């Protein structure tokens, strides 16, 4: 595995300058460094941007069927490498292999989805009395994608594939902590027939990203990450009128009414908090439970949570892997300590390092899920994005009350409702500030549904019908068939 990764990290496109910043990849399961790479120099980046821009001009002339065929070939190559890619992803992120395999399967769906999307016409034709007018969807040009570390493979597909299929080129900068599957995908696309330079992965951290954002060659920036970085990137991109998509953080509400199917609601709350060790932007970390089912809900949740198998993420039996890195591990522990000091909050379960880890992962960044009961809206743990397994349970009495409280946040990424009254489910979801919402489930994101948030959670959408809007621009053309109707004297 590391041999393959080393060859990806050192392939011909990579920078080998020993003067640029050095990054070390650490396996979060055992806190052991396994690879190193250098960020590109400004010169490397300028060359890569030149190549991106030149190849885009050619690529934009390719036919929809050519593009569709390449994506289908890439889907075939990916299908033959599911194990391999998911192991790379698990080694970078620490997410259980069951989860990363699921992401790779969804990646195959994504490639098939866009291979079909590009065959549909998005152009419009108008007949005018003396001519014809048409409105074309044309590419944005050279685009850039900047990814987060929690779902690196999903990020590279949702941004990279969507961008290139509409005739753009893309410079993709994965998170410095988790670049491996993006590098693999770059090779896969070239093997499938994508011309060299159309999709390029550039390594590094904020500095590399800044170079891309400020480059006049870049016409669109698609960013996934924290609100604080996102706000800066948005302002910088605006300075040169670049189009943006911002996929940022959240503190989403999950509302459980007293008529909910309680076992399903418990499943939903677990999926909304424990999946990927809680490192999911859309997680429903504010769990509002109607007061008359609170005790029953908490008891069932506790029983199920105690059964979770925390362990080696490469083991298919593992439910919960480590946090991605030490910084995130420390940050989540800090929040747990803050929660324990909050006025009335009760740490019902977890929040510690598990003491029964197998010896080969003793040094991993593992934590038990933490359940806090008796939470109130103003508590820090109920207000701020933690990005770890910290569930805040809040009690509510009425529908109107819970809607107001759920919306009382600066975020607006996702929301969920559990109720058997489907009218109430839809009514409540309609009233919540969220770009993605679920009734009687949580955190499903099939490729055909647009993804993104409102308020501080972001702007723009990825996937589904939204992708054409995000990755192309309109060009209007009027073609005169008669003489020019000119009011001026001859």
- Active-site positions? 247
Buried b (16+ CB within 10 A) or exposed e, 228-266: ebbeebbebbeeeebbbbbbbbbbbbbbbbeebebeebb
Binding pattern for the stretch 198-227 against ligand NAD, x by CB under 6 A and - elsewhere? -------xx--xx-------------xxx-
Q: Considering the complex, state which of residue 69 and residue 210 has its C-beta at the smaller distance from ligand NAD.
A: 210
Least distance (Å) between residue 358 CB and ligand NAD: 28
Buried b (16+ CB within 10 A) or exposed e, 206-226: bebbbbbbebebbbbbbbbbe
Least distance (Å) between residue 152 CB and ligand NAD: 9
186 neighbors 201 (Cβ within 8 angstroms): yes
Burial of 137 (0-12, 13-18, 19+ CB in 10 A): middle
Q: Which of residues 265-294 bind ligand NAD (CB under 6 A)?
A: 281
Q: Considering the complex, state which of residue 73 and residue 211 has its C-beta at the smaller distance from ligand NAD.
A: 211
Least distance (Å) between residue 57 CB and ligand NAD: 27
Q: Which of residues 232-261 bind ligand NAD (CB under 6 A)?
A: 232-233, 247-250
414 neighbors 434 (Cβ within 8 angstroms): yes
Q: Does 149 bind ligand NAD (CB under 6 A)?
A: yes
Least distance (Å) between residue 212 CB and ligand NAD: 8
Least distance (Å) between residue 131 CB and ligand NAD: 44
Q: 20, 93, 115, 150: which one contacts ligand NAD (CB under 6 A)?
A: 150
Q: Does 175 bind ligand NAD (CB under 6 A)?
A: yes
CA distance 23 to 147: 16
Q: Considering the complex, state which of residue 126 and residue 448 has its C-beta at the smaller distance from ligand NAD.
A: 448
Q: Considering the complex, state which of residue 402 and residue 414 has its C-beta at the smaller distance from ligand NAD.
A: 414
Q: Does 388 bind ligand NAD (CB under 6 A)?
A: no
Which residues are CB-neighbours of 310 under 8 A, at least 6 positions away? 318, 319, 320, 321, 354, 357, 366, 368
Instruction: Classify residue 484 as left (phi > 0), alpha (psi -120 to 50) or beta.
Output: beta
In the sheet with 253-256, reading across from the earlier edge strand, the strands are: 346-349, 370-375, 390-396, 286-290, 253-256, 414-418, 436-439
300 neighbors 263 (Cβ within 8 angstroms): yes
Least distance (Å) between residue 14 CB and ligand NAD: 17
Binding pattern for the stretch 321-360 against ligand NAD, x by CB under 6 A and - elsewhere? ----------------------------------------
455 neighbors 411 (Cβ within 8 angstroms): yes
Q: 186, 385, 399, 470: which one contacts ligand NAD (CB under 6 A)?
A: 385
CA distance 329 to 336: 11
Q: Which of residues 415-474 bind ligand NAD (CB under 6 A)?
A: 453, 458
Binding site for ligand NAD (CB under 6 A): 146-151, 173, 175-176, 205-206, 209-210, 224-226, 229, 232-233, 247-250, 281, 385, 387, 413, 453, 458
């Amino acid at each position: 595995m590391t041999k393959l990764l080393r060859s990806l990290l050192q392939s011909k496109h990579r920078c080998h300058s020993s003067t640029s910043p050095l990054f070390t990849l650490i396996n979060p399961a055992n806190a052991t460094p396994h690879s190193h790479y250098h960020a590109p120099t400004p010169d490397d980046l300028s060359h890569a941007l030149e190549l991106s821009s030149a190849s885009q001009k050619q690529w934009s002339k390719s036919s929809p069927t050519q593009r569709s065929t390449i994506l289908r070939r890439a889907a075939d190559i990916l299908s033959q490498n599911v194990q391999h890619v998911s192991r790379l992803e698990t080694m970078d992120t620490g997410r259980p292999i069951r989860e990363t395999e699921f992401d790779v399967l969804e990646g195959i769906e994504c490639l098939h989805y866009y291979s079909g999307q590009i065959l549909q016409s998005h152009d419009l034709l108008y007949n005018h009395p003396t001519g014809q007018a048409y409105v074309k969807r044309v590419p944005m040009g050279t685009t850039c994608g900047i990814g987060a570390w929690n779902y690196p493979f999903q990020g590279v597909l949702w941004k990279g594939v969507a961008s290139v299929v509409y005739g753009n080129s893309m410079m993709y900068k994965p998170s410095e902590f988790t670049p491996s599957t993006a590098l693999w995908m770059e090779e896969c696309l070239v093997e499938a027939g994508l011309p060299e330079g159309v999709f390029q992965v550039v390594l590094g951290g904020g500095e590399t990203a800044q170079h891309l954002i400020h480059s006049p060659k870049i016409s669109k920036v698609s960013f996934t990450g924290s609100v604080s970085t996102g706000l800066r990137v948005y302002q910088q991109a605006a300075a040169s009128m670049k189009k943006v998509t911002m996929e940022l953080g959240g503190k989403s509400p999950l509302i459980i009414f007293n008529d909910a199917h309680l076992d399903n609601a418990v499943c939903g709350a677990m999926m909304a908090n424990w999946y990927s060790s809680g490192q999911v932007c859309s997680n429903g970390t504010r769990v509002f439970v109607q007061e008359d089912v609170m005790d029953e809900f908490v008891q069932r949740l506790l029983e199920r949570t105690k059964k979770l198998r925390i362990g080696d993420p490469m083991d298919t039996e593992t439910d919960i892997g480590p946090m991605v890195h030490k910084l995130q591990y420390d940050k989540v522990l800090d929040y747990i300590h803050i929660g324990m000091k909050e006025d009335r909050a009760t740490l019902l379960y977890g929040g510690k390092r598990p003491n029964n880890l197998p010896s080969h992962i003793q040094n991993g960044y593992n934590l038990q899920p933490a359940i806090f009961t008796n939470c109130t809206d103003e508590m820090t743990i109920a207000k701020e994005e933690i990005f770890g397994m910290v569930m805040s349970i809040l009690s509510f009495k009425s529908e109107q009350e819970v809607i107001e409280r759920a919306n009382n946040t600066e975020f607006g990424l996702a929301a969920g409702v559990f109720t058997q009254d489907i009218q109430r489910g839809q009514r409540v979801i309609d009233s919540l500030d969220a770009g993605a919402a679920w009734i009687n489930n949580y955190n499903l994101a099939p490729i055909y549904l647009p993804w993104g948030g409102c308020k501080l959670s972001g702007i723009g959408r990825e996937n589904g019908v939204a992708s054409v809007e995000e990755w192309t621009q309109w060009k209007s053309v009027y073609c005169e068939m008669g003489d020019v109707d000119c009011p001026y004297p001859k």
